[in-house]
Amino acid sequence: IYSKEDYLQLSTEGDPRDSLRSFTDLSAMEGVTGVYEPVQHHWFHCQNLVDCRSSWIPFSREDSLQLEERHKHGETSGEEEEEVVVATEGRRFDVRLKERRCFAVYWEQPPLEVRRCSWFHKGDKDIFYTPYPEDTSLVLEEAYMMAVKLNDWKKKKIEFPTGETVVLHSPKLMTQQQTIPLKDWISLPSVQSQPRTVKRGLEDIRIELPEGEPDQVDHLVFMVHGIGPTCDIQLRGVVPCVNDFRGASLSLLSSHFKQSQDGTHMGRVEFLPVDWHRVLHGDATGVDDDIQRITLPSISRLRQFSNSTVLDLFFYNSPTYCQTIIDTVASEINRLHQVFLQRHPQFTGAVSLAGHSLGQYVIDLS
């Protein structure tokens, strides 16, 4: 069982328990009654990893159900032409159903692709299943429905223009094969020529759906970062580090205050990042460009990290730039607080400030 964080950190190493060799199990070849049941959809969003890979992360059950209800309502009411916005992830993100994009509310980041998923595939060396595009899933579901109703499972093949062929052997045995030209057969890596496992729905997939967050917020905490653009040993920015803080808080509430949460007597703690680094390192000051011109090209990543970190110390010790840091933190906290109250109008809880490293001194001066 893997949590949401596992989806962002684990590599695509093989899991022998899900090998295609398991298809020799005769139980996979059992017949079907001929009664077709529509597939249950679940919504996912795509996260880009640091090594240029991407990983599909499931929404919580509550968020996925809300997205599915709004999607079906739009289909039946004729509102498909209008943009429908659904708040997810504790109201920190807005999903635009028509665009199939997820936008951050409190901080700047590229929008995330959103997908309504029902069919999935996985290679022999992969750990997690990848959802098919929605149009592909629709084709597969129609082929599956016909096979069930006609009770026809004689290696039913669905070929796609991209070169993939999905074979429906039985309700529990489905594979994807790649059509490979003869001239490329010898040079192609063996892993790409192997069939991939295909699954319908989430029932047979080893996956843990994230827990939904209580809508009630009892405490709001603004977290101010310290020097440099990174906040931990993994060189992550302030947003993912604050996400970890929030996740740890939710875990403690679930493990130590489950009864109070179930009785709606206790809400959650919301943590929001306060970023002041980007203001000083943008085009406004021009200092980064000047430093870059005199930086040696060797070990560039280390030098860039050192430049960004040391510059923040110089900025803080400069009367002019120190005041810029203080003003930026104050205005950013006011902005975040205003946006938070707009999305949580019933909030009457406490508000706190937390600072890491240099951030605690910035809070004192603010």
Q: Do residue 192 and residue 269 come from a single domain?
A: no
Q: What is the pLDDT of residue 226?
A: 85
Q: Is the pLDDT of residue 44 over 70?
A: yes
Q: Is the pLDDT of residue 15 over 60?
A: no
Query: CA dihedral defined by 74, 79, 82, 83, rounded to 10 degrees?
Result: -10
Q: What is the pLDDT of residue 307?
A: 60
- Percent of the chain, pLDDT > 70? 74
Q: Do residue 175 and residue 290 come from a single domain?
A: no
- Kindly report, residue by residue over 46-99, the tens digit of the pLDDT: 987 666 678 999 999 999 999 999 999 887 776 666 789 999 999 999 999 999
How far are the Cα atoms of 69, 73, 168 from residue 96, in angstroms, in the given order?
Answer: 14, 14, 34
- Kindly report, residue by residue over 125-177, the tens digit of the pLDDT: 888 899 999 999 999 999 999 999 999 888 789 999 888 899 999 998 999 98
Q: Which among 30-39, 132-141, 234-243 has the top mean pLDDT?
A: 132-141
Question: Where does a domain end: 167, 200, 233?
Answer: 200
Q: How confident is the model at residue 24 (pLDDT cuts 50, 70, 90)?
A: very low
Q: Do residue 54 and residue 184 come from a single domain?
A: yes
Number of folded domains that form the chain: 2
Q: Is the pLDDT of residue 190 over 80?
A: no
The mean-pLDDT minimum among 26-30, 242-246, 265-269, 361-365 falls in: 26-30
* DSSP designation for 142: H
Region 224-250: mean pLDDT is 85
Q: What is the pLDDT of residue 143?
A: 95
Q: Do residue 120 and residue 262 come from a single domain?
A: no
Question: Where does a domain end: 170, 200, 230?
Answer: 200
The residues carrying an active-site annotation are: 357
- Kindly report, residue by residue over 195-234, the tens digit of the pLDDT: 899 999 998 888 888 888 989 999 999 999 988 777 777 7
Structural tokens at position 128:
């997690």
211 within 8 A of 60, measured Cβ to Cβ: yes
Residue 205 included in any domain: no
Q: What is the pLDDT of residue 280?
A: 74
Question: Where does a domain end: 147, 172, 200?
Answer: 200
* Beta strands 119-122 and 196-200, pairing class: antiparallel
CA distance 132 to 138: 9
Q: How confident is the model at residue 355 (pLDDT cuts 50, 70, 90)?
A: very high
Range of the domain at 62: 4-200
Q: How confident is the model at residue 185 (pLDDT cuts 50, 70, 90)?
A: low
Residue 116 included in any domain: yes
Q: Do residue 162 and residue 277 come from a single domain?
A: no
- How many CB atoms are closer than 10 A to CB 150? 10
Q: Do residue 285 and residue 196 come from a single domain?
A: no
Q: Do residue 154 and residue 233 come from a single domain?
A: no
Q: Do residue 180 and residue 255 come from a single domain?
A: no
- Kindly report, residue by residue over 305-338, the tens digit of the pLDDT: 666 666 676 677 778 778 888 999 999 999 999 9
Q: Do residue 9 and residue 154 come from a single domain?
A: yes
Residue 132 included in any domain: yes
Q: What is the pLDDT of residue 105?
A: 98
How high does pLDDT run on average in the chain?
81
Q: Do residue 43 and residue 192 come from a single domain?
A: yes
E-strand ranges in 40-178 read: 42-48, 54-58, 85-88, 93-96, 101-104, 112-117, 119-122, 130-131, 156-159, 164-170, 173-178
Beta pairing partners, 312: none
Q: What is the pLDDT of residue 184?
A: 54
Question: Rg for the chain (alpha carbons), in Å?
Answer: 25
263 within 8 A of 293, measured Cβ to Cβ: no
Q: Is the pLDDT of residue 1 over 60?
A: no
Structural tokens at position 162:
């991209």
Q: Do residue 84 and residue 48 come from a single domain?
A: yes
* Beta strands 268-274 and 217-224, pairing class: parallel
Residue 207 included in any domain: no
